[in-house]
Amino acid sequence: MAVPKRKQSNARTGSRRSHDFKKPVQTVACPNCNKMIQPHVVCPNCGQYMRREVIAKDDAK
C-alpha cells in the first residue's frame, strides 16, 4: 500500500482547500417590484418571471 513519504504542510493543505468555501447567494432586483431575488427564479413577491406573470398573486393580502 502506498504511504506518503512526508507530512503535507499546512500551506499546501490550505491552498488545496481554497476553493472549498461556500459562495454567497447571488441576487438581482426583480424588474417588476424591485425586490431582491435569485436569478432565473420566479419572484415570490409578484409572481413574475422575465416580465411575464407566471403565478397569479392576489392583491388583497
- Using CA atoms of 28, 31, 35, 40 in order, give the dihedral in degrees to the nearest 10: -50
pLDDT of residue 1: 84
Q: Indicate the pairing of strand 36-37 with strand 28-29.
A: antiparallel
Q: How confident is the model at residue 59 (pLDDT cuts 50, 70, 90)?
A: low
Beta bridge partners of 49: 52
Summarize pLDDT for 14-58 with one digit per residue, the tens.
999 998 888 899 999 999 999 999 999 999 999 999 888 888 877
Q: Indicate the pairing of strand 48-49 with strand 36-37.
A: unpaired
**Model confidence, pTM:** 0.57
